């Protein structure tokens, strides 16, 4: 009887050791549960003020309702060089953006009702909730990848022109 208990105990211990040794280690990798893709809703030209020449033409996604303007480029993991998001507001006023839940560095370009660039917030840092205000009243805000406004030599006084695709 003792021998049977001993064998049973050895089998239970062996089984537990075997199961724990075979148990897969689960690696916890932080993956995005929601993937938000770029949706082309128009094109935008960046125009040099002193020469009227087109600096760059990019595809734009539009944010023109409360949900879209609150969400912006949050949760995106990438933005192509030739893509941007244009925020269109119903009025002209001082604006302020922040980078909450935004995973990519951005240049934030504030634009007045005449479609003239009035100020920049360059290389806004991902996930930072610090307020990034305009220096003058703005009706439009353009977000592009961080560093592009310098690369494209954009300046206060340069202008934009945009065309929306059908359906917008």
CA 84 to CA 67: how far, in whole Å?
Answer: 18
How crowded is residue 87: how many other Cβ atoms within 10 Å of its Cβ? 22
Q: Is residue 104 part of a domain?
A: yes
Q: Is residue 114 part of a domain?
A: yes
Q: Is residue 36 part of a domain?
A: no
CA 132 to CA 149: how far, in whole Å?
Answer: 16
Which tokens in the block code for residue 142? 């353009």
For the chain, the domain total comes to 1
Q: Is residue 23 part of a domain?
A: no
Question: Would you say residue 21 has pLDDT above 70?
Answer: no
- pLDDT for position 12: 60
- pLDDT for position 24: 47
Q: Is residue 31 part of a domain?
A: no
pTM, full prediction: 0.80
Q: Is residue 17 part of a domain?
A: no
The percent of residues above 90 in pLDDT, for the chain, comes to: 76
pLDDT in tens, 50-62: 999 999 999 999 9
CATH code at position 55: 2.60.120.1140
Contact 168, 42 (CB under 8 A): yes
Q: Is residue 30 part of a domain?
A: no
Q: What's the domain range around 136?
A: 42-164
pLDDT in tens, 22-39: 444 444 444 556 678 999
pLDDT in tens, 89-125: 999 999 999 999 999 999 999 999 999 999 999 999 9
**Coil, strand or helix: which one is 90?**
strand
Q: Is residue 10 part of a domain?
A: no
User: For residue 108, which of 59, 65, 158, 145 has the smallest C-alpha distance?
Assistant: 145
């Amino acid at each position: 009887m003792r021998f049977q208990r001993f064998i049973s105990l050895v089998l239970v211990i062996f089984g537990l050791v075997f199961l724990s040794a075979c148990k897969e280690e689960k690696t916890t990798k932080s993956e995005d549960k929601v993937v938000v893709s770029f949706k082309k809703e128009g094109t935008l030209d960046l125009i040099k003020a002193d020469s009227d020449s087109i600096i760059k033409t990019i595809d734009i996604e539009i944010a023109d309702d409360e949900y879209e303007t609150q969400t912006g480029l949050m949760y995106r993991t990438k933005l192509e060089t030739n893509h941007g998001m244009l925020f269109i507001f119903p009025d002209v006023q001082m604006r302020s953006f922040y980078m909450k839940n935004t995973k990519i560095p951005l240049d934030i370009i504030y634009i007045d009702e005449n479609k003239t660039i009035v100020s920049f917030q360059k290389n806004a840092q991902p996930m930072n909730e610090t307020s990034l205000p305009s220096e003058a009243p703005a009706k439009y805000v353009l977000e592009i990848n961080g560093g592009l406004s310098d690369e494209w030599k954009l300046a206060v006084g340069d202008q934009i022109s945009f065309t929306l695709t059908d359906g917008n």
